[in-house]
Structure 1
Amino acid sequence: MLTVNTHKGFTFFKRKVILHELREALRRLAPDIVFLQEVVGEHVLHASRHAHWPETSHYEFLADELWPQYAYGRNAVYTEGHHGNAILSKYPIVSYDNHDVSIEGHEARGMLHCVIDRQGTPLHAVCVHLGLRQRHRSRQLARLCALMHAQPEGEPMLVAGDFNDWRLRADAVMHECGAAEVFSASFGKPARTFPARFPLLRLDRIYVRNIRHWRPLPMAARPWAVLSDHMPIAAEVML
């Protein structure tokens, strides 16, 4: 599995549409499940200005033929279109629901919850993009824990995405919800992911619950450092 903030399809300073290169990089790795944040569902202005802008939504374009199943949760809506979170899967997505965790008067945020049929085993996948302010993230993490506790006891769960948790508060909260962060469990701290060219901040996470075995996977700087403003992180998991 892999998670990445797609930065709405642009390089760090929005100088170039990078979706084609991102799709090829994802296809080379071919993870079973992909968690996407800031993925564009529609943007009519960019579509008219950029020659290589896809005719479909970005999540459909990235899914292509490799991930036949996908779900999208629209978070931010504006005059030109909308963007949000998406999950791409090689396995059937049985159901999905998008949970609005926006704080009134501030940036739109959401959590996309999918139930995936993993060879007869229900696997819960939650794609997360939390707020920029600590007090907002605290409330959103509480909502995430409530969502996790609402699922059937013992069923495996993956929670991944952009937590914006530069103060490193999320691990303790998620631990109370029965989840472990894959990089923290192996190396003591989450992976450095932002900014992608010279990662300093540990913003992106992969949490697992009721998973038999997992291990973080290393990501090469090339080509990923130029495909977004966040470095992706990946893990191998066994149910």
Structure 2
Amino acid sequence: MTAQNHTAEPITTEHPGILRVATYNIHKGVQGLGPARRLEIHNLGLAVEQLDADIVCLQEVRAMNRREALYFDRWPEVSQAEYLAPEGYAAIYRTNAYTRHGEHGNALLTRWPVVGHRHEDISDHRFEQRGLLHVEVEVQGRRVHAIVVHLGLIAGSRLRQVAQIQRFIEREVPGDAPLVVAGDFNDWGLQIKNMLAGFGLFEYDEAPQAYTYPARLPMVQLDHVYVRGLRPLSLHVPRGRIWWRMSDHLPLIAEFQL
């Protein structure tokens, strides 16, 4: 794991012993198509702050995009991960995909000090560039490992990517360390959930209809927060017009007992 200098002063939480984790696919900070598309990154900045999470896992985050920077007058001068990080949070970003006009990937924002981080390519074929972001955070005196993922659109690819994630965990995460695996799993069934349970990763199962996609009329839960070594306490999906306007996904917020 790469040592780095992205440290943050921990913000006092209202509930010591609780870890609050959010995951959110931000759709690259832009909604709509063609001339009708609109910039939502500024609203997303306010939204991320409202999540009030210890760890925020983000997908489809742009490091830069030359075309959109020219199109939108208020395009941020810094990367989206840096822009979205509330005051006092560390922002860790790693690229998954390189495109004609820029690049995008996964990010993790946290109010707790970051010990180290690394990235691993989990692309399964040449048409989709995918990766995982692994960040080790010191939370209330405990080392917690967090992995941010955005799995592929093809069912077979997702299964092979989960197998890659399992091998990564076995290699990089101590067996007794608290572990969070969160992100957009792109899975409409239970196959991925059952695979993860097979190697000890579970999520809170007592919240009915924690649907996150599509944001305007949610019908399925594509976004998940799985843990090992922590007790799931709750799962919550913010709803309302202000949320479905910002992305095609809704955020998911989970709380765990440390």
Q: Same fold (TM over 0.5)?
A: yes
- 1-side partners of 2:58 and 2:241: how far apart? 19
* Contact kept? 2:49, 2:86, Cα under 8 Å: no
| 2:162 paired with 1:141 | yes
Q: Distance in 2 between matches of 1:193 and 1:211?
A: 23
Q: 1:47 aligns with which of 69, 84, 97?
A: 69
**TM-score, normalization by structure 2:** 0.87
What residue number does 2:196 align with? 174
Equivalent in 30, 33, 58 of residue 10 of structure 1: 30
| Cα distance change of structure 1 residues 218 and 42 upon mapping to structure 2, 3 Å threshold | closer
Question: Which of 11, 15, 20 is 2:42 aligned to?
Answer: 20
**Which among 143, 147, 167 is matched to residue 122 of structure 1?**
143
Task: Measure the CA separation in 1 of the matches of 2:251 and 2:192.
Answer: 18
Identical aligned residues as a percent: 39
Can you give the 5+ residue segments of structure 2 that lack an aligned partner in the other structure? 1-20
Does the 8 Å contact 2:130/2:152 carry over to 1?
yes
Deviations 1:7-34 (A, max 9, x none): 0001254710101111112212321110
The DSSP-based 3-state class of the residue aligned with 1:82 is strand
Check conservation: 1:148, 1:177, Cα contact below 8 A: no
**Amino acid of the residue matched to residue 139 of structure 1?**
R
Distance of 2:84 and 2:195 partners within structure 1: 32
1:203 is matched by which residue type in structure 2? L
Q: Which residue of 2 aligns with 1:154?
A: 176
What number of residue pairs does the alignment pair up?
A: 235
TM alignment of 1:1-239, pairs within 5 A:
1-13=21-33, 15-67=37-89, 69-150=90-171, 151-182=173-204, 185-187=205-207, 191-239=210-258
Please give the secondary structure, in 2, of the residue aligned with 1:84.
strand
Measured in 2, the distance between the counterparts of 1:21 and 1:126 equals 25
Q: Is the 8 A contact 2:48 2:86 kept in 1?
A: no
Q: Is the 8 A contact 1:191 1:204 kept in 2?
A: no
2: distance between equivalents of 1:63 and 1:38? 15
Q: Distance in 2 between matches of 1:108 and 1:12?
A: 23
Q: How far apart, CA to CA, are the structure 2 residues paired with 1:104 and 1:2?
A: 29
For residues 171 and 31 of structure 1, the distance between their equivalents in structure 2, rounded to whole angstroms, comes to 23
Report the TM-score when normalising by structure 1: 0.93
Runs of at least 5 residues in structure 1 that lack an aligned partner in the other structure: none
Could you say what the CA RMSD is over the residues aligned between the two structures, in angstroms? Answer: 1.5
Q: Is the 8 A contact 2:207 2:235 kept in 1?
A: no
Q: 8 Å contact 2:210–2:237 — kept in the other structure?
A: no
**Whole-angstrom CA distance in 1 between matches of 2:88 and 2:236:** 20
Cα deviation 1:14-56 (Å, max 9, x = unaligned): 7101011111122123211100000000111111110111000
SS in 2 for 1:180: coil
Conserved 8 A contact 1:91-1:116: yes
- Check whether the contact 1:193–1:202 (CA below 8 A) recurs between aligned residues: yes
Which 4+ stretches in 1 moved above 3 angstroms? none
